[in-house]
Structures are given as structure tokens and as C-alpha cells.
Structure 1
Amino acid sequence: MEIGTGDRFLRPLIEYGRDPALLEATVRAARGRSELVAALPEEETRRHVRALVDGVLAALEDGEPGEEALAAAERLGSDRARQGVPVAAFLDGFQAGRTHLVRTLVAAGRRLGVPDAALLDGVTRIDEITAALVHRMVHAHRVTELEMARTAREARVQMLRRLLHGEPVPVLAPLDPAGAYHCVVSDVSDPEAAARLETGLTAAGPGLCGLVDGRFTALVARLPDPAPPGPLLVAAPPARPAEVAPMYRLGRRALLAGAGAGLTGMRELADLALLTVTAAEPELGGLLAAALLPGLDPDEPFHVELAETALAYLDHGGRIEPAAAALHVHGNTVKYRIRRLRELTGRPLPDPAAGAAVSRTANWWWALHHWLARTTS
């Protein structure tokens, strides 16, 4: 359908519909309405919202949803079923996003002087389009649920979910109630990517994998060696199946902290202990940054280099050459930057290699990490 004078509602729609700020606000609305949707990785919600918004816009121009929009709706319904999100929960999120989108577009239309009759016609068309999309989503969700219910695999994944949530459940094959398993968590929510991770993790020994709370999670007897490259995976120490729930909760917290620090690949949970704890207390990190780094200006690129160098220096035990190699600079550059940092802050950087107090070194590490995270964001 062409955009003409009788369809003035489409003008603000096309103008605002692909605005990145509108997309992000719609994502927040969807996640704020449904706890289960909010438990999914934010990028997963953003991916589906972007596809559905594009489908609605295309349908408004063409008169009805095209195959691409309908296919996106089917993928959303099927993915949510595999992620264990009930149909009512993901529809709550979808409707919240739709409501926010309509309200924003109506407000935009009124600012541009679009008559109420044209606005009403546009809203009615959006309702017709979203009804068609919802029908496809619900149908795909139910078909996928029925397919999974017929398989023994889904029963095993349900056991995995209950174990990780701390619910009482008989421990059946392929797990051994007396065995010990590493709980591995990730932010991977795409079923195909999850299947590839499962192949790599179970190659080293028996295990059980599945999507739990929308993310790929596994209990494996042995970790792969060498660790696979790719997305961030947090591996907890081995525990019996009945005792993995606390490891799962800690792993989720460490995963969030590690993702915020830009980490990738497989990481031991214990190695992320400091990062996990400090990420949970941003106010304390801010206080330390203000106290230890008063001379650093976040708008000055050279000051960012000084903080990055200092953090690498602490991460490498106060050794110049390893820090220089990690930063791809000369050792003298590291020495110069550490000296300049002392001049700007009025405080010497602690030297872990010289036996500096653990608490003092940790405070500096925390302050630098917080300052860099706030600055680069």
C-alpha cells in the first residue's frame, strides 16, 4: 500500500519506527513486563524485537505481514518454547512492547498534526498485523512444546532445570547421583549455537546440557582441554547433582560480571571471584576510584591509557615485561605511564611483586577497573 495523504499515520511511523532509541525503549518495556523474558540475555530480546518491529513496518506499507515477518514470529515462538518460557510469559512481553510502540507513534503523530481518524486507522492496522504475528508465535510455540514433550531429551532437560533451581528431583541417567559435575553457564540462547557448545563440552566425558532460564547450561564430568574459544563460559568446581544449585547461582553472577568486563572463552568460577564481588558493589568502586584516582580525567585518552596500563601491571603481579607484552608496548612505556599515574594521583601504585598488602592492591585494582568501566561505557 502506497503512502498517501489519506494515510498520514505512516509518516511518523516510518520516521520513528526505525529509531534505535525507540527500539531500546521497546526492548525495556518487553523485559519489564515479563520476569521470564527479562531473565533472557538482553540481546536475545533485542534480536526478536528488531525483527518484529521491522515486520510491522513492512506490513503497514504492504498492507499485510509478509513471509519474512511471519517467519520471524515463528522463530520467536519456537525459540521461547525451547528456552522454557511459557506462552503467557512471552506474550506479556510482546504485548508490553506493542503497547509502548503504539503509544510512542501516536504521540509522534499528534505532534505532527495527524488527524485522530488517521491515527485510529493506523492503530487498527497495527492491531490486525500484530494479531497475525501472535497467531504464528503461539502456534509455533505449541508445536515446539509438543515435539519436545515426545522426547526423552526434554525430560532430562527438565531434570537439569530443577537441579539447578534447587528443587527436589530424582537424579537419573546420564547423571550419577554420587558423581561430581562442573556447572557451566553461558549467555548463549540461540538453540543452534547451544547445540554446537553441547557437542564440544560432552566430548570430554558424560554430561547433561540444555537451555535453563533461556541460557545454555551444562553439567559435565570433565571440562574440555584445551578450553574452547568463543563466547564466555563460566565453569564452577565439581559438585554432586544435589549440590549444584548454589554453583549455578554463583556462576550466573560471575557470568554477568565477566560479560561486563568483556571476557570471552571458558573461565573458572574461582578466577572470577574478585570481579564478581566488586561488580556487585558499584558504589564502593566509585568511592575507591574517587579516593585513589582524583587526578584522572575520563575525557582524556592518555589518562585512559594510564589506567589500562596500571590495571595490566597489577594483573601481571607487578611485572613490567608481561604487562608490556599484554599491552603490545615497550617495557619503558609501562614504566613511564606508571610514573605519570603517580604524579597525577599523588599516590604510588602498589607493587604486588614487592609484597604490597593484598587489601591495598585489591583496592587499587577495584578502583582502576571501576573507573575504566565507567569511562569506556
Structure 2
Amino acid sequence: MEVGTGDRFLRLLIEYGEDPVLLEATVRAARGRSELVAALPEEETRRHVRALVRGVLAALEDGGPGGEVLAAAERLGSDRARQGVPVAAFLDGFQAGRAHLVRTLVAEGRRAGVPDAVLLDGVTRIDEITTALVHRMVHAHRVTELETARTAREARVQALRQLLHGEAAQVRAPLDPAAAYHCVVSDVSDPAVAARLEAELTAAGPGLCGLVDGRFAALVARLPEPAPPGPLLVASPPAGLAGVAPMYALGRRALRAGAGAGLTGMRELADLALLTVTEAEPELGGLLAAALLAGLDPDEPFHRELAETGLAYLDHGGRIEPTAAALHVHGNTVKYRIRRLQELTGRPLHDPAGGAAVARAANWWWALHRWLAENTT
């Protein structure tokens, strides 16, 4: 559209669009509407306002926004995403600046005698152009935001992987090089489940989570209370970042042992020490089972019940009632089974009065655990 065709609104925009007073007032309107935009350098806002005003003018002259105008809108959206300004906040600033500019043009047009119909048509065309620009800005903002998030996420996960593998890593937020962290490991490979676990673990304090070696792992400052239910998670004691690699290796071993025992939920690494060590020596456990449990027949279901009861009895400190509750049987049933187990093996299962009681209890526990693992299908 040529200026000489009588488009008085276009002439009005040309006249006032480069007016420094109007430009500054538009900049103030944009910054006043959004605190995040106001936090940016003022020249940054001024540069974008000037570019968009020129873009609208060019679009009015050409009958619509061209490639350069749309590219300028995309740059604005991308810049705001990289600057960390949310799309809603940056659109608030954009719309405030646009509204101030339109109000000023309408007021000046009326003072200049421009008919209301011409002003209305001009404002409508500006709205059509700015709508197209907003679509481009929002799209570019979202694309850049996703790319930035993905890049930052990949960098954090790479740092987590390096720390857990004992490699040199650049420590960034949310980790503090001087702090200690629990190393949490799991066998979770489903991204959706991993995302849920990340939210639960980091709700208690800062942490770094991701898929390492194909499975969810985390370094967290504090463990959630209560512990989240669900898949087995093994959590180490807090350690400095230089010491998390050994915790990760131990946690993976404990995880395998805990999974083999059918455990679920969050478990302290220290609580799985005996299970982890004995699981790593199956041959020795088999020899111990053969020595202590020679009187049990693996083909006899009742003998498996005896072994399960003996293991539960040891797990509950040799107490009848807690053992019965865990097995959902009567206390007398537990007493009978323990008596029969001792009769068949020829050895007392629990003898606190004898010497080396702890070692004997541990040997019984290991033997029963190994015997059940070998003979339960």
C-alpha cells in the first residue's frame, strides 16, 4: 500500500512511529506491565519496541507481515526465552506496549481529524498483524525454551553420570561442591516413573536426578519422609561428591540383592549390608545351607514353610508374636514350626545364652536365605 493513496492512518503511524517521546512511553508501558521484562536492560526493551514498530509499519505498507518482520518477532521470542522470561510475562509486556501505542495513535488521529472509521480500520489491521507476530513469538519462545531445557538437562545428567562413575565433572547448581548427598539407585527405566520419583526425591531438598546406565539414580541432600512407596530404591548415607562413586557401586550391588529378595520401597544401604554381602557369595551360602539344613527336604512343601518361618523368626529378633503377625499365622503355629525346624536340623535356631550368638544367628539367616533361594520356584 502506498502512502499517497490516502491512507491517513498509515501516514499517522509513519509520523509518530519514530517519535522518541512515543517510543520511550511505549517502552515504559511494556516494562511497567511485567516485572521480568523490567528486570532486563532498558536498552534491550527499547531495541525490541523499535523493531516491532518498524515491523508493523512495514506490514501495513506491504499488506501483511513479511519474512523480515516475522523473523524479528521470532528473535524477540527466542531472546526472551534465553533470558528466562516466561511467555506469559513477556506477552504482558508486549501487549502493554502495543496498547499504549494504539491509544496514542487513536488520540493523535482524532486531534488531526482522521475519521473514526479510518482509525478503526487501522487498529483492526494492526491487531491482525500483531496477532501474527504473537504467534511467531510464542512459537519461537517455546522452541527455544525446550531446546534450552533439554541442553541444560543433558548437561546436568552428564554431570550426574560422571560423578557416579568417579570421573571429573563440573559441579553446577543444584549441587553444592561442599555439601554431602545421599546416592539413590533403582532399577527404574520408565521415564514417566523416573519423573515421578524425581519430583518426590527433590521435594525434600535440592538434588540431581537422571537415568544413569539406563536406570534412575539421584544425588539428594535429604531423603523424603515418609519414604515414597513403589519400586525398590537404595539410599546411601550422605557423602561428599568425591565419595559418591563408591556409594553408587555399593548401592547397585545392594539393589540387586534387594530385588532378589523381593524388597520394595526405599531402603537404607546400611540396612541391606548383610543381604548384599551374602548375595555376593552364593557358593559359600550354599555350603553353609548344606551344613546347617541337611535335614530339610527341598521337595517337601512343609519344610519350605519351616525355613520361611525360621527366617522370619530371625528377622524379628527371635520374637514369636511379631513373627506370627508377619506370616499371618497364630503364635502357636510359629512355636511348633520352630521346634520342628530345630528337630530336623538338630541345632538350636536361637540361643542367646551361648557364645558367638550373633555369628550363629547370621549363619542361620544366611543358610535359610540361600536354601530358600535355591529351592523355591
Tell me what 1:328 maps to: 328
Alpha carbons of structure 1 residues 227 and 354: separation in structure 2 relative to 1, 3 Å: farther
1:340-369: CA deviations, max 9, x gaps? 011111111124598861111100000000
Cα separation, 2, equivalents of 1:225 and 1:355 = 39
Tell me what 2:344 maps to: 344
Measured after TM superposition, the shift of residue 149 of structure 1 is 8.9
The residue correspondences of 1:165-184 to structure 2 (distance < 5 A) are: 165-184=165-184
SS in 2 for 1:177: coil
Cα separation, 2, equivalents of 1:351 and 1:147 = 65
Q: What residue identity is the alignment partner of 2:163?
A: L
Tell me what 1:260 maps to: 260
The answer to whether the aligner puts 1:234 opposite 2:265 as a matched pair is no
Tell me what 1:105 maps to: none
Pick 1 or 2: higher relative contact order, CA cutoff 8 A, min separation 6. Answer: 1
1:98-130: CA deviations, max 9, x gaps? xxxxxxxxxxxxxxxxxxxxxxxxxxxxxxxxx
SS in 2 for 1:176: coil
Tell me what 1:272 maps to: 272
Alpha carbons of structure 1 residues 206 and 309: separation in structure 2 relative to 1, 3 Å: same
Alpha carbons of structure 1 residues 298 and 147: separation in structure 2 relative to 1, 3 Å: farther
Cα separation, 2, equivalents of 1:247 and 1:284 = 25
SS in 2 for 1:299: coil
Measured after TM superposition, the shift of residue 278 of structure 1 is 0.2
Tell me what 2:368 maps to: 368
SS in 2 for 1:183: strand
Measured after TM superposition, the shift of residue 170 of structure 1 is 2.1
Alpha carbons of structure 1 residues 198 and 354: separation in structure 2 relative to 1, 3 Å: farther
1:75-119: CA deviations, max 9, x gaps? xxxxxxxxxxxxxxxxxxxxxxxxxxxxxxxxxxxxxxxxxxxxx
1:306-349: CA deviations, max 9, x gaps? 00100011011111111111111111111100110111111111
1:268-310: CA deviations, max 9, x gaps? 0000000000000000100010000011111111101100100
The answer to whether the aligner puts 1:217 opposite 2:217 as a matched pair is yes
SS in 2 for 1:311: helix
Identical aligned residues as a percent = 85
1:58-85: CA deviations, max 9, x gaps? xxxxxxxxxxxxxxxxxxxxxxxxxxxx
- Counterpart contact for 1:317–1:352, Cα < 8 Å: no
Q: Which of the two has higher C-alpha Rg?
A: 2
Alpha carbons of structure 1 residues 356 and 309: separation in structure 2 relative to 1, 3 Å: farther
Alpha carbons of structure 1 residues 148 and 162: separation in structure 2 relative to 1, 3 Å: farther
Tell me what 1:161 maps to: 161
SS in 1 for 2:229: coil
The answer to whether the aligner puts 1:306 opposite 2:306 as a matched pair is yes
Q: What residue identity is the alignment partner of 1:263?
A: L
The residue correspondences of 1:84-163 to structure 2 (distance < 5 A) are: 150-163=150-163
Q: What residue ranges of structure 2 are gaps of 5+ in the alignment?
A: 1-145
Q: What residue identity is the alignment partner of 1:260?
A: G
The answer to whether the aligner puts 1:243 opposite 2:275 as a matched pair is no
Cα root mean square deviation, aligned: 1.7
Cα separation, 2, equivalents of 1:353 and 1:232 = 37
Q: What residue identity is the alignment partner of 2:373?
A: A
- Counterpart contact for 1:163–1:245, Cα < 8 Å: yes
Cα separation, 1, equivalents of 2:166 and 2:311 = 38
The answer to whether the aligner puts 1:287 opposite 2:287 as a matched pair is yes
Alpha carbons of structure 1 residues 156 and 352: separation in structure 2 relative to 1, 3 Å: farther
Cα separation, 2, equivalents of 1:150 and 1:368 = 49
How many pairs does the alignment contain? Answer: 232
Alpha carbons of structure 1 residues 173 and 313: separation in structure 2 relative to 1, 3 Å: same
Cα separation, 1, equivalents of 2:169 and 2:190 = 27
Alpha carbons of structure 1 residues 290 and 322: separation in structure 2 relative to 1, 3 Å: same
Q: What residue ranges of structure 1 are gaps of 5+ in the alignment?
A: 1-145
SS in 1 for 2:173: coil
Cα separation, 1, equivalents of 2:207 and 2:192 = 18
Q: What residue identity is the alignment partner of 1:288?
A: L
Cα separation, 1, equivalents of 2:267 and 2:165 = 22
SS in 2 for 1:262: coil
Measured after TM superposition, the shift of residue 148 of structure 1 is 8.8
Tell me what 2:59 maps to: none
Alpha carbons of structure 1 residues 148 and 284: separation in structure 2 relative to 1, 3 Å: farther
- Counterpart contact for 1:318–1:353, Cα < 8 Å: no
Cα separation, 1, equivalents of 2:297 and 2:348 = 18
Alpha carbons of structure 1 residues 287 and 148: separation in structure 2 relative to 1, 3 Å: farther
The TM-score, its normalising length taken from structure 1, stands at 0.60
- Counterpart contact for 1:317–1:353, Cα < 8 Å: no
The answer to whether the aligner puts 1:185 opposite 2:199 as a matched pair is no
